[in-house]
Each structure stands twice: as C-alpha cells, then as structure tokens.
Amino acid sequence: MKEVRKSRGITQQIAGFDTRYNIGKIEASRTNISVSTLYILGKYYEISLEESLRRMEQV
C-alpha cells in the first residue's frame, strides 16, 4: 500500500488525517487490520479489495 500512497503523492500524515488510521503502523506491519479497514484504505487509494490484499501479502 505504501507504493500506491507514494505514487499518488499522498503523505502518511494526509492519508491518516483523511482515513483516521495510523498509516505508519499499518505500512510497517506493526498493527493488524481488518478486512473492512483494508477495504476502506483500498477505496481511499482507488484500488480494489483484491489488489489491496495482494499488496498486503507482499509485506
């Protein structure tokens, strides 16, 4: 997800403010997230849930 965020020119701070999630912890895999959170982040980054899951597997 970090690559998607960066490719869109969005900082962790902006993404965190917009979504109310700690993006730094999510990207560093320091917290577990639910499928619904992954879905919300996917919608925010304009990618499908399937693509979100694929990217999370790469972490």
Task: Give pLDDT tens digits for 6-34.
Answer: 999 999 999 999 999 999 999 998 999 99
| Residues 36/44/17/55 CA torsion (nearest 10 deg) | 70
Per-residue pLDDT, averaged over 38-53, amounts to 93
The domain total for the chain is 1
CATH code: domain of residue 29: 1.10.260.40
Query: Is pLDDT above 80 for 58?
Result: no
Helix (H, G, I), strand (E, B) or coil at 43: helix
Q: Measuring CA to CA, which residue among 24, 32, 34 is closest to residue 2?
A: 24
The predicted pLDDT at position 59 comes to 64
Domain of residue 22 covers 2-57
